[in-house]
Structure 1
Amino acid sequence: MLVNNQYPGPTLKADWGDTVVVNIKNSLRLNGTSFHWHGLRQLGTNIMDGTNGVTECPIPPGATKTYKFRFTQYGTTWYHSHFSAQYGNGVFGPIVINGPASLPYDIDLGAYPINDYYLKTADELVVETQHTPAPPKSDNVLFNGTNINPAGSGGAYSRITLTPGKRHLLRLINTSVENNFQVSIVGHDMTVVATDLVPVNSFTTSSVFLSIGQRMDVTIDASKTPGNYWMNVTMPATSTCGSSLNPAPAAIVHYSNAPVGLPTTPGTPPPDAQCRDSLSYVPVVSRQAPLDQFTPSAKNTLDINFQISPLVFWTINGTSINVDWGRPVLDYVLNDNTSYPASENVVIVDQKDVWTFWVLENISNVPHPIHLHGHDFLVLGASATGAGRFTAADEASLRGANPVRRDVTMLPGAGWLVLAFKADNPGNWIMHCHIAWHVSGGFSVDFLERVSEQKAQISAADSTAFQDNCAEWRDYFDKSGIVKIDSGL
């Protein structure tokens, strides 16, 4: 599947503060689709979030939909389908929002997506992962849509060209469905200037860890001997963090005044990140969570687990989400109906501008990249792998003063994660694992945030377009005979 006949899809570029209008036509023959604008807060425009079964019905084959929203953040992000695991078939692309930089640079190299690639379709892999909790191995890892074929001939390395003596901005994006990566460049450090859409105090490192959905804006100084250098991707030693049949995924960093060729120095693997995010990044704009208002309880604890009977599915507090494509949660909001089905896994957040705190406890040994729509959250703390449940003794380790802030972070295997966000954005916002088969298998909750105020934000025209889209989808779904085999997300 392609977006405008491109893989990855075309980069959406705009400036901070711009209002953008994106027209989508679904030219697929047998699939619905939707477009989610990953990491965008969608302030006042939850109806444009692009989450089918939550904020809209899928776009049926042959139909069109217009998304209109404002870029209230700047930096690097991406768009992707939220229709089952469809983005794994190619329905994704980068977004670049121009704005200030926390470190000067000379050349913007643009967005650089890195993703796992499978010869099987995402639909086939969804079915396979319903029968085994073991993750599939990717057939390759692609850099900006290309790589050599590790199983034979053909293909080509991606090449990043540096101008000697210049500082370059590279916008890394992990657009994978399963694999988390460590990225390094032989002989070169990278300076991190933004994590997700959050500018940070510049931080120089030899490698960066990118979980699924995360972005890192890094600068690279072209100050080494002109030549060709490997950009290497390694996966943490635990196979549950990612695995590929390509034993050494790589791209080439090329100096413009050097002959084109293959690098000759392999480099050394970076220290194993153990599938955990660094909590050392310091946001430029400081925010503080009032830890004195945090009290762990059953009401703000989310237990993550999976079951294998009769199929593999993932649960949060014992429930797997299973959205209704034909009746999204937003339909309930528009009709003042609070009888939400249990299968929507709804969590009510209805107090205005209060800080909400969430303890995620991972009962399984599998680490998970946790993504929240409509917010960037504060990462107050995360355990070591295998630490078990969050305890009173762990509270002292939490950091409320300007902690890491982003929209994706890792929940350690058999460990815990504590997040906070302020209830300042009315809407229906899902929080889910960004491993495609996990959210497809039910790993999500739907935060209904101040929905009594949400209805007033929706114009009559947008409400009519919503209803028309759903009528088109229901008509297609009823006539097509297609069967929904997963959560729908």
Structure 2
Amino acid sequence: MALLARVTCLVLTTLLAIAGCQAKTVTYDFNVTWVAANPDGLYERKVVGINGQWPLPVIEVDKGDQLVVNMYNGLGDKTSSIHFHGMFQNGTNDMDGPSMVTQCPIPPGSSFTYNFTVNQNGTYWYHCHTENCYPDGYRQALIVHDKDAPFANDYEEEFTVTMSDWYHTLTEDIAPSYMSLYNPTGAEPIPNSFLFNDTLNVSIPVKPNTTYLLRLINIAAFVSQYFYIEDHTFKIVEIDGVYTEPTEADTLYIAVAQRYSILVTTKNTTDQNFPIVTVADTVLLDTIPSDLKLNNTNWLEYSKSAPYPQADIQVAQAQDLVPFDDITLVPSDGMPLLPEPDIQINVTVIMQNLMNGYNYAFLNNITYTAPKVPTLYTVLSSGNLATNSEIYGEFTHPVVLNHNDVVEIILNNNDTGTHPFHLHGHNFQVLDRQPPVGPNFYSNLNGGNPVNYDSSNHTTFPSVPARRDTFVLPPYGYFVIRFVADNPGVWFFHCHIDWHLAAGLGMLFIEAPTQLQERLSIPEDHYQACRAAGVPYEGNAAANAQDFLDLAGENTQQAFIPAGFTARGIVALVFSCISAVLGMAGISVYGLTDLNFHTMYTGPDAPNTTESVAMDNVQPKTEENTG
């Protein structure tokens, strides 16, 4: 037995050594600057480029690799950061990327190194996570290759496909009109176009009778899209980095930040090319400009000599498309339903106006408001008080989780909009969603009343639930998810529609803060970025490092409208006051002008001109001389 144990130990050591030799360090040097681009052929504008290029480079690594991204902010007029969307960052919470959550915003002229091991597989993406910056082009795919994927031998070649909405105007110029007194309903800015791999009219060359892997990523700021390939079906094999049992489908609904990998087997023909169709979810749009093209055609290219037909779809048919319901997908690892939760978090999405007349987004009664110190740094500088949620500020909406808690989130939607919610640091089990994706997705809007989750009356939870990191909350509906708090860190839970996050639709989970203090230390270049940005990196949410329970001076949300006033009423009152002030100012200016005129032309020094005489002869209008 002793000999057997020694042999086993030797074999394991050898295997680990081999695995270690196979892993490598993949380094990217990013100089982030403005460049010019015209991706839809309609309007050239400046976009966020990397190393003078746009579209941005796709990050590609193998599972187990060390990824190092040396970023220099050369934008000159904008702070920045990088979030590696879907990466768990287990043990490297400081590399997660959201500004004022796990780091300071990186100011122009500063450098910042992201360095972490990729112990995951599948389809991800990276994007800026500082204010509204990724809609300006700062987003691209991140692919983690895995030679041991269950479908690794089932395809010949793979392609990465990104889809996105696109604005002709810089986000910094759009944002003030979105969060504005003049937009009291919170209507989201309407994109100018929709892109496919950051351009239009893309052909993907394929051979007949061949299977391909397509990685699909919605990197948009706002709009979900339907996806299908005319006269083709496909097999879903991955969602958000989770391998699934191969499942046949023909149409997908891909919300912002969601990813799918599909296997597509081509036909036995070279006589024609087939449209790859993407259709914007028009229900999300408050208005639809006449020149906005809502459905786009790209192609599976079987032959360069064959025609490239346009998709046969009318915009009005988009809601009639029946996409596959992702809640029914079964992870290939067979992970069973988690046990009853240790902690249940019940929050409701609300959109409403505050005293300044702006329309904000809320989870319960809190619209997320960034603290003065990044929350991760508050954890690391707070000692024994790290488990006290008060120190993180009321308006970050913090929830402290114990290590290895089973966490259940019930998310109700009292809003008529759709919200794709993303959880940093985890994927989660999807237990229930009503209405389901499909023909009844918008059915609750017809009745006019929200349908909230009832714990005593719900569908049976699946025994092996689907898992992903971004899940769509239906309008006037709800979803229920579970995860294990096995990853100490500060993790953002937020709607991934960038406009909604800007309006405050997010909250923080401070997970196992004591363990986090024991395991994590911040690199010096991260603190240097804070100093350069003038952002404190010690203390509570109010930057008080002397008394962590004193939150005086913390950033707060706007005050609620007093009882008795409706949102429409307060907006009307504000506009009435503005009109009154402008009216009084106009009367005053007119009166002074009239006084100055009479003084000028009737005083002792008045000029004797024909113009002044003519002015004196102007007659009041009567029925006879009114023209």
Pairing partner for 2:350 from 293, 297, 305: 305
**Match runs of 1:119-134 below 5 Å:** 119-131=168-180, 132=183, 133-134=186-187
Q: Could you tell which deviates more after superposition, 301-310 or 439-448?
A: 301-310
| Letter paired with 1:180 | S
Query: C-alpha deviations, 1:337-396, integer Å up to 9, x for none?
Result: 54112122211112x21211110011111110000000001111011152511113434x
Selected match of 1:374 from 412, 425, 438: 425
Alignment match, 1:389? 452
Alignment partner of 1:362 is 2:407: no
CA–CA distance in structure 2, aligned partners of residues 335 and 194 of structure 1 = 40
Deviation at 1:122, TM superposition (A): 1.8
- The alpha carbon displacement at 1:240 in A equals 4.9
Does the CA-based 8 Å contact 1:73-1:197 persist in structure 2? yes
- Partner amino acid, structure 2, of 1:160: I
* Residue 102 (1) aligns with residue 147 (2): no
Residues 1:35 and 1:186: Cα distance change in structure 2 (over 3 Å): same
Question: Which amino acid in 2 is paired with 1:379?
Answer: V
SS in 2 for 1:208: strand
* Residue aligning to 2:298: 251
Tell me if structure 1 keeps the 8 A contact 2:252–2:323. no
Partner residue of 1:204 out of 244, 248, 257? 248
Amino acid in structure 2 at the alignment position of 1:289? L
Give TM-score, length-normalised by structure 1.
0.88
Write the distance in 1 (CA, Å) between the matches of 2:278 and 2:237: 20
Partner residue in 2 for 1:424: 486
TM-aligned CA deviation for residue 159 of structure 1: 1.4
Distance 1:47 1:249 in 2: 39
User: Which of these residues, 126, 130, 142, is aligned with residue 195 of structure 2?
Assistant: 142
Cα offset for 1:2? Answer: 1.4
Partner residue of 1:171? 215
Name the structure 2 match of 1:411: 473
* TM-fit CA distance, 1:290: 3.8
Alignment match, 1:279:
327
- SS at structure 1 position matched to 2:457: helix
Distance change in 2, residues 1:84/1:24 (3 Å): same
Which one-letter code corresponds to 1:355 in the other structure?
A: V
Query: Residue 51 and residue 211 in structure 1: after superposition, are their counterparts in 2 closer, same or farther (change >3 A)?
Result: same
Greater shift after overlay, 96-105 or 163-172? Answer: 96-105
Q: Please show how residues 55-66 of structure 1 align to structure 2 within 5 Å.
A: 55-66=102-113
Matches of 1:259 and 1:406 in 2, distance apart? 41
Q: Is the 8 A contact 1:240 1:366 kept in 2?
A: no
Aligned to 1:25: 72
Q: Distance in 2 between matches of 1:76 and 1:236?
A: 23
Give the conservation status (yes or no) of the 8 Å contact 2:190–2:285.
no
Quick one: structure 1 residues 275 and 333, their matched pair in 2 at CA, closer, same or farther if it must change by over 3 Å?
A: farther
> How far apart, in 2, do the equivalents of 1:329 and 1:79 lie?
21
Q: Aligned partners of 1:272 and 1:285: how far apart in 2?
A: 34
Structure 1, residues 42-92: CA drift from partner, whole Å, max 9, x if none?
111111001110000011101111001111110111000001121000111
Which consecutive unaligned segments of at least 5 residues does structure 1 have? 148-156, 477-484
* Among 507, 514, 531, the residue aligned to 1:471: 531
SS of residue matched to 2:175: helix
Q: Distance in 1 between matches of 2:498 and 2:340?
A: 36
Identify the range of structure 1 (226-235 vs 447-456) with the bigger mean alpha-carbon deviation: 226-235
Name the counterpart of 2:58: 11
Partner residue of 2:381? 335
CA contact (8 A) 2:125 2:142 kept: yes
Q: Contact between 1:179 and 1:242, CA under 8 Å: does it hold in 2?
A: no
**Aligned residue number for residue 447 of structure 1:** 509
Q: Deviations over 1:220-259 (max 9, x none)?
A: 112143222211111345235996811322212211x441
Cα 1:61–1:277 change in 2 (3 A) is farther
Q: 1:292 deviation in Å?
A: 4.0
Using the alignment, how far apart are the partners of 1:314 and 1:201 within structure 2?
A: 37
Amino-acid identity (%):
26
Q: Residues of 1 paired with 2:163 and 2:263: CA distance? A: 17
The change in CA–CA distance for 1:449 and 1:372 in structure 2 (over 3 A counts) is same
Which amino acid is the alignment partner of residue 136 of structure 2? N
Distance 1:25 1:120 in 2: 24
Q: Provide the residue aligned with 1:113 in structure 2.
A: 162
Give the partner amino acid of 2:452: R
- TM-score normalised by L of structure 2: 0.70
Distance in 1 (alpha carbons) for counterparts of 2:203 and 2:531: 46
Q: How many correspondences in the alignment? A: 461
How far 1:212 moved relative to its partner?
0.4
| Paired amino acid for 1:70 | T
Q: Tell me, in whole angstroms, the C-alpha distance in 2 between the residues paired with 1:181 and 1:486.
A: 35
8 Å contact 1:280–1:404 — kept in the other structure? yes
Whether 1:231 aligns to 2:314 is: no
1:179, 1:243 within 8 Å by CA — same for their partners in 2?
no
Aligned-partner SS, 2:236: strand
Partners of 1:363 and 1:275 in 2: how far apart?
24
Equivalent runs, 1:60-99 vs 2, <5 Å: 60-99=107-146
Quote the Cα distance in structure 2 between the aligned partners of 1:3 and 1:405.
33
Q: Once the 2 structures are TM-superposed, how far is the Cα of residue 469 of structure 1 from its aligned partner?
A: 1.9
Q: Does 1:266 align with 2:312?
A: yes
Distance in structure 2 (CA, Å) of the matches to 1:242 and 1:210: 21
What CA deviation, in whole Å up to 9, does each residue of 1:400-443 have, x standing for no partner? Answer: 52111000000111111101110100000000000000001111
- Structure 2 unaligned residues grouped into runs of 5+: 1-47, 436-441, 445-449, 537-554, 558-627
Query: Deviations 1:427-468 (Å, cap 9, x if unpaired)?
Result: 000000000000011110000000111122223xx3433322
> Which gives a bigger RCO, structure 1 or 2 (Cα 8 Å, sep 6+)?
1
Mapped contact 1:327–1:470 kept (Cα < 8 A): no
- Please identify, of 440-449 and 131-140, the stretch whose mean Cα deviation from structure 2 is larger: 131-140
Is the CA contact (8 Å cut-off) linking 2:280 and 2:294 kept in structure 1?
A: no
Secondary structure in 2 matching 1:128: helix
Name the amino acid aligned to 1:142.
L
In structure 1, how many angstroms separate the alpha carbons of the residues matched to 2:118 and 2:380? 25
Q: Any idea what SS the aligned residue of 1:43 has? A: coil
Q: Is the aligned partner of 1:346 residue 2:346?
A: no
Look up the SS of the partner of 2:135 in the other structure.
Answer: helix
Distance 2:339 2:138 in 1: 40
Cα deviation for residue 114 of structure 1 reads: 0.5
